[in-house]
Amino acid sequence: MKDLCQYGNRPEDEWEILPWIPDPRPPFKIWAKPEQIAPFFLIPHHPYAISLLLKISDGFRTEEFRRLGLIGSSEDWERLVRGVIQEFEENNSGVDLFHFDSDEDVFCVYSQYIDDLMLLAKMIRVACADEKAMRTYLGKIEYIKLFWEGAPEGEPAVILYEVDTENERLALRSIDIFADCRTRNIPDLYDGAIEITPIPTVEELNAHVWGEEFHACVIEQAEFEAAWESHTYDGALK
């Protein structure tokens, strides 16, 4: 891992000149309190910019990411924060205010717009307050395992779905898993379908929108891909 002061710190000749900033620039006023954004933290690069960092080794929200089919890597944090930035830009003036400088050890978003970065830092902390909020900002592919209790003969006891949450919750791929653990990969669930049906959320499935015989859970992408590639399944059937 490189020195924390290096993240988001460009060479001096690469910074944009902001004509409304006095020269010399006054010291940054850091008004975001550490406890408001922890475990994220700020690193100033006076007089040019400020960075918001998170050490991946802290394991912050790793379990939530895993339940969403991700791992909590820097790439996953950038994906979530892009969703937050999109909301920020919709509600504030200016675009392209923020940039990333992450690696496998540290997530980093930085900006020359000091107050905007601190506002964003507080928004990011709120965005990862719980799994539901994280799912909203990730705007991501979701992986669902559906259990069909008492499935009729010839029907799958378990179905794995890859769901595009940004496209009306339509399934991208699915895997039928039968009682004898045979599997059937379905690359296009809607091929030949008369009616295209979105996949309900896990919460909706467990509220029995498809019937009392169905219940579901979110799984990691790795579990779906392993079943897809190997054409085998060794997990639970109920």
Based on the fold, state whether residues 119 and 22 are members of the same structural domain. Answer: yes
Checking if the pLDDT of 165 tops 80, the result is yes
Based on the fold, state whether residues 82 and 199 are members of the same structural domain. Answer: no
Percent of the chain with pLDDT over 90: 67
Based on the fold, state whether residues 52 and 76 are members of the same structural domain. Answer: yes
Per-residue model confidence as pLDDT tens digits over 117-154: 999 999 999 999 888 789 878 876 789 999 999 999 99
Q: What is the pTM of this model?
A: 0.63
Q: What is the band of 4 on the pLDDT scale with cuts at 50, 70, 90?
A: very high
How many domains is the chain built from?
A: 2
| Rounded distance between C-alpha atoms, residue 39 and residue 181, angstroms | 43
Domain hosting 83: range is 4-138
Residue where one domain finishes, among candidates 110, 138, 166: 138
Residue where one domain finishes, among candidates 138, 157, 187: 138
Structural domain contains residue 237:
no
Checking if the pLDDT of 95 tops 90, the result is no
Based on the fold, state whether residues 15 and 131 are members of the same structural domain. Answer: yes
